[in-house]
């Protein structure tokens, strides 16, 4: 019994809270991203995502385990792609590009809202433990959502940016690329795990966060300072 008590006392409980907060924030980013794809496709005439049960806020329907892990470790990742059938679109390539853009744009909107609420808490609320946990969640949400949005704008198939770029290609070239995009995705996963995109993406994420923080009047330094809940609790306790 004493051994169990000593083990529990030695646990970094705030560290576990921080990990849980980061995981929940990642699930929010993924769910919002994929739901936006499916909703826009549905509004453009494609019921495929709806019929597959992907127009839902249930994160389990959207999780790709590897992509979620990469979001937690490398701050960039992906979800299980929402099924889209271009044959339902009146203007296939254009509507596919709009559907693809919906995901990243939704992430930038989510990051903006997270930073806006953070700014209100930062300026008008007493920073007790509860407020610090909320700020930690919102900071992780802003960083992960911005990273997910920017990563998916890379014009490499099957990332969202490729659907926008390929909309300007001839139909034959477009269909050829779509046919082989699953193999390109394997390459993207390998490159991401190897950290190939880390440097350029980090700079782009920083620039995007700087712009969003300027809009809502929130210090950029506060975003990164409030990502680690353990350090925050020790600092303010």
Indicate which residues carry an active-site annotation: 34
Is residue 218 within 8 A of residue 118, CB to CB? The reply is yes
Provide long-range contacts, Cβ within 8 A and 24+ apart, for 160-168. 160/100, 160/101, 160/103, 160/104, 161/100, 161/104, 162/100, 163/96, 163/97, 163/99, 163/100, 164/97, 164/100, 164/101, 166/93, 167/93, 167/94, 167/96, 167/97
Give, in order, the Cα–Cα distances in Å from 124 to each of 119, 130, 211: 8, 14, 22
Residue 154 zone, left/alpha/beta (φ > 0; ψ -120 to 50; rest):
beta
Report d(CA 198, CA 193) in Å as an integer: 9
């Amino acid at each position: 019994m004493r051994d169990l008590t000593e083990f529990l006392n030695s646990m970094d409980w705030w560290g576990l809270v921080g990990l849980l907060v980061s995981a929940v924030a990642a699930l929010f980013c993924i769910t919002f991203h994929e739901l936006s794809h499916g909703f826009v496709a549905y509004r453009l005439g494609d019921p495929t995502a709806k019929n597959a049960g992907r127009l839902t806020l249930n994160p389990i329907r959207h999780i790709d385990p590897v992509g979620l892990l990469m979001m937690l470790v490398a701050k960039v990742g992906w979800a299980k792609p929402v099924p889209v059938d271009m044959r339902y679109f009146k203007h296939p390539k254009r509507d596919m590009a709009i559907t693809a853009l919906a995901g990243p744009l939704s992430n930038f909107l989510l990051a903006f809202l997270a930073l806006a609420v953070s700014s209100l808490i930062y300026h008008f609320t007493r920073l007790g433990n509860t407020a610090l946990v909320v700020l930690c969640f919102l900071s992780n949400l802003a960083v992960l959502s911005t990273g997910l949005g920017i990563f998916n704008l890379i014009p490499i198939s099957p990332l969202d940016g490729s659907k926008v770029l390929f909309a300007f290609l001839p139909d034959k070239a477009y269909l050829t690329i779509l046919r082989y995009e699953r193999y390109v995705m394997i390459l993207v996963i390998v490159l991401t795990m190897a950290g190939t995109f880390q440097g350029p993406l980090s700079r782009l994420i920083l620039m995007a966060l700087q712009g969003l923080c300027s809009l809502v009047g929130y210090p950029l330094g506060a975003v990164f300072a409030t990502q680690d809940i353990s350090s925050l609790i020790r600092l303010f306790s």
